Amino acid sequence: MAEISERTAHTRTASYEADPSEVGRVLLLYSGGLDTSVMLKWIADEYKAEVVTLTVNLGQPGEDYEGIEAKARQIGAVECHTLDAREQFAREFVAPAIKANALYGGGYPLFTALGRPLIAKLAVDVARASGCDTIAHGCTGKGNDQVRIEATIATLAPELKVIAPVRGWQMGRDEEIEYARRHGIPMKGGTEIAPYSIDDNLWGRSSEGRWIEDLDHAPEDDVFQLVTPPERAPEESQVVNVTFERGVPVAVDGERLGLVELLERVADIGCRHGVGIVDHIEDRIVGLKVRDIYEVPAAAIILLCHQELEKLVGTIHQNQFKPGLERQWAYLVYAGLWWEPLRGDLDAFMERVNEQVTGTIGVKLYKGSARVVTRSSPNAVYDRSLASFDESGGLFSQQASPGFIELWSLQSRMAYQLRARDRDSDSAGGT
Ligand code: ARG
């Protein structure tokens, strides 16, 4: 624990940040990438600490978890854990987001923001179980993820401390590669060109960096690793039917599926048809405005269906009221306050509304677009005979409408007349 470099010793600002002299055994949130691999070695050397790694599977496609563990051991981890948290992520984080129609800034379905509190909670559990005093993560000081992870740890485990070496060490990418070479840390090929900065799970994928930072640079196709560019999507459209029970999707085209499998199935269909590309300007919680390219095929389809079904089963008053609470829900979650009681209060409301959200929505997918084409629900507040232009059988009295209009518009008409009077007297005075 001796000889902590100047740099490390003087970077504490918050109470939950580790005092270097207290760091003995560190739980590192490990992805297997360059940053966290360099961190593993650097923490072991700099703090003379034991490093335990945790890698969490939230459904990021194509990940080799055994390879990641092997790499961690090779770099010097004393203990390695990999947790498959897909089911928990889908049930406890994605399902509530669906019930809340959660989109931050009108376009971002929050996949990363939903994943971080779970990853950080699992880090707390594993840190406690394996006797760690500190949790380390690879976030920079510019993003939202540091807020989500550290707020979670400080909330759930006041006894644990945090270190975030990337925020303090001021190594650029080239220096990290040099460090990795020097210490025999294995790297994948292609270290010459800086890659996009990627984060993904079963609810979506984000890309940042490179030309994405030039706001007037239109997306290059190589950024799309999930969704087929719409121009290259099939010429034939496809209708996909999503069935919900109490707000949660349970079947696709009549086939009942577990939530994880269902999300993957819908994502596959969306990807094929070029659905779910979002080119998004975003207000980060730390003040920066940034651009993200998102690929969110499952969310694009499922949120569309859920919203449509909810509209069908809700009354005009429920439908007018809920979006305000949805915006607040999305903002809290985006901003890293998953554990804030207001989020639970809002969830209670979302749950209650979603008790009625049962039924099936059909969406037509074609070259990047998704459009609702059919709807059915036992709870629809809809009566075809009432809405029809045909005779309503006396149940809806059109004769009642003029009386309604007279009362409904009363205050608006009075106010309009008052203003008209003021306008007339103003212009009379002016001449
Ligand atoms: N802008 C999104 C968010 O703040 C995605 C962030 C992706 N994170 C990452 N470390 N690449 O949630």
Tens of pLDDT, residues 86-121: 999 999 999 999 999 999 999 999 999 999 999 999
Is the beta carbon of 144 within 6 A of some atom in ligand 1?
Answer: yes
Is the beta carbon of 243 within 6 A of some atom in ligand 1?
Answer: no
pLDDT in the model for residue 385: 86
Please give the model's pTM, rounded to 2 decimal places: 0.95
Tens of pLDDT, residues 126-159: 999 999 999 999 999 999 999 999 999 999 999 9
Give the position of tokens 């149940």. 395
pLDDT in the model for residue 1: 43
Ligand 1 mean position, distance from CA 240 (Å): 29
The atom of ligand 1 lying closest to the CA of 139 is: 10
Please state the rounded mean pLDDT for residues 334-346: 98
Q: What is the mean pLDDT of the chain?
A: 95
Is the beta carbon of 17 within 6 A of some atom in ligand 1?
Answer: no
pLDDT at 328 over 50: yes
Which of 70, 72, 110, 69 has its CA nearest to residue 93? 110
Asked whether the CA dihedral 168, 174, 177, 181 is positive or negative, the reply is negative
Is the beta carbon of 125 within 6 A of some atom in ligand 1?
Answer: no
The atom of ligand 1 lying closest to the CA of 116 is: 12
Residue 330 CB partners (closer than 8 Å, separation 6+): 100, 102, 103, 104, 110
What is the spatial distance between Cα 24 and Cα 46, in angstroms, rounded to a whole number? 11
Tens of pLDDT, residues 247-278: 999 999 999 999 999 999 999 999 999 999 99
The torsion angles phi and psi of 145, rounded to 5 degrees, stand at -65, -35
